[in-house]
Amino acid sequence: MSDIVCITLNPTLDLSNEVDRVVATHKMRVRNQRQDVGGGGINVARVLVELKGEAGGEADVVVLSGGATGQLLAAALSAMPFKLHILPMQGEVRIAVMVYETETGQEYRFVPEGPVVSAIEIDRVLLALESLPARYMVASGSLPRGAAPDTYARISRIAARAGARFVLDASGEALAAALAEGGIYLFKPSLSELERLVGHSLDVQAAADVASDLVARGKAQVIALTLGADGAMLINAEGRTRLPAILVPVRSAVGAGDSFVGAMVFALSRGQALQRAFRFGLAAGAAAVMTPGTDLCRRADILALYRQACLDTGDPDRLDWVSGG
């Protein structure tokens, strides 16, 4: 049995660049180009690899991939230390582009919708998941066009049959369908994703009330609501815990949510209490915004920020549960 299975149905090749200033119609010479593999579940797996060091269970990565860009994706993923399960699709893996404007500190992100997939291609993924029992099953990111809105709900049922804790980071119709199904262990929405779910704007109190209602109705056991500069809130049957944001220099917001999820699931898989896992996730999200472009959180930054957060809350942690911590 794997510790964690990470699922990406709409992966990306992520290109990041820097330019002094973005000017319409002009040819702009970019620099510091970086290419990474991306998509929610892949990013979560990258965070797990960053954190686990030389010890700890390996992650299984399940991904739909196709076309020439899919070959590049597969080559990059094959070089990483996790168990890779690539399911074929006819369409091409999308290419996302991020441009950082150094004069203003603004970040421009261009993310294509991605290919259209067939029901047969999605069914292949679900069949593969049936044969991958795990303690945690993480579905993160958008659904590709053509995938039925209940795809994540179907994965939730597979997780339940396998006795796995189902972790979801999604939005829109796919999220609504999964919540209607229930059976979610951990759901990590941002405030804007929760607003989209209910169809109107929310202040923090109203958002917490929505999350508490979802927990009370059995739609999710745990909700980690991220609030950007206002920190994050943990909601479960025992109540609510709010933590302030960890103040760090902001370089790029790419992958902050996936870093939060990856670190929180990592901590839970190591037997840590929910509150500490939540704090560890918050530290990883903060560490992610410190890195440029499509780079994600770095282990040393996560541990330093987490240690400081523990001291600030009067709950010191020796971090002996993290290899080499």
Instruction: Please check whether residue 301 lies inside any domain of the structure.
Output: yes
Instruction: Please check whether residue 324 lies inside any domain of the structure.
Output: no
pTM across the whole model: 0.94
pLDDT at 324: 55
Q: Which among 213, 258, 295, 320 is annotated as catalytic?
A: 258
Instruction: Please check whether residue 318 lies inside any domain of the structure.
Output: no
Structural domain boundaries enclosing 125? 2-18+32-312
Q: What whole-number percentage of the chain has pLDDT above 70? A: 97
Is 66 in contact with 87 (CB distance < 8 Å)? Answer: no
Instruction: Please check whether residue 320 lies inside any domain of the structure.
Output: no
How many whole angstroms from its chain centre is CA 309?
21
Tens digits of per-residue pLDDT, 272-324? 999 999 999 999 999 999 998 778 899 999 999 999 988 887 888 888 898 75
Comparing 14-28, 45-59, 160-174, the range with the smallest average pLDDT is 45-59
pLDDT at 240: 96
315 is catalytic: no
- Binned at pLDDT 50, 70 and 90, residue 229 comes out as confident
Instruction: Please check whether residue 108 lies inside any domain of the structure.
Output: yes
Contacts 24+ apart (CB under 8 A), 274-277: 274/222, 274/234, 274/236, 275/234, 275/241, 276/315, 276/317
Q: Count of H helices and E strands in the chain? A: 10, 13
pLDDT at 201: 96
From edge to edge, which strands make up the β-sheet containing 83-88?
A: 83-88, 59-65, 2-8, 134-140, 165-169, 184-187, 220-226, 232-236, 239-243
pLDDT at 294: 78
pLDDT at 307: 93
Average pLDDT along the chain: 93
Q: How many domains does the chain have?
A: 1
Whole-angstrom distance, CA of residue 239 vs CA of residue 284: 23
pLDDT at 251: 84
Tens digits of per-residue pLDDT, 130-175? 999 899 999 999 999 999 999 999 999 999 999 999 999 999 999 9
Backbone phi and psi for residue 67, each to the nearest 5 degrees, phi listed first? 75, -175
Instruction: Please check whether residue 26 lies inside any domain of the structure.
Output: no
pLDDT of residue 56 exceeding 60: no
- CATH classification at residue 194: 3.40.1190.20
- Binned at pLDDT 50, 70 and 90, residue 1 comes out as low
Instruction: Please check whether residue 126 lies inside any domain of the structure.
Output: yes
Instruction: Please check whether residue 322 lies inside any domain of the structure.
Output: no
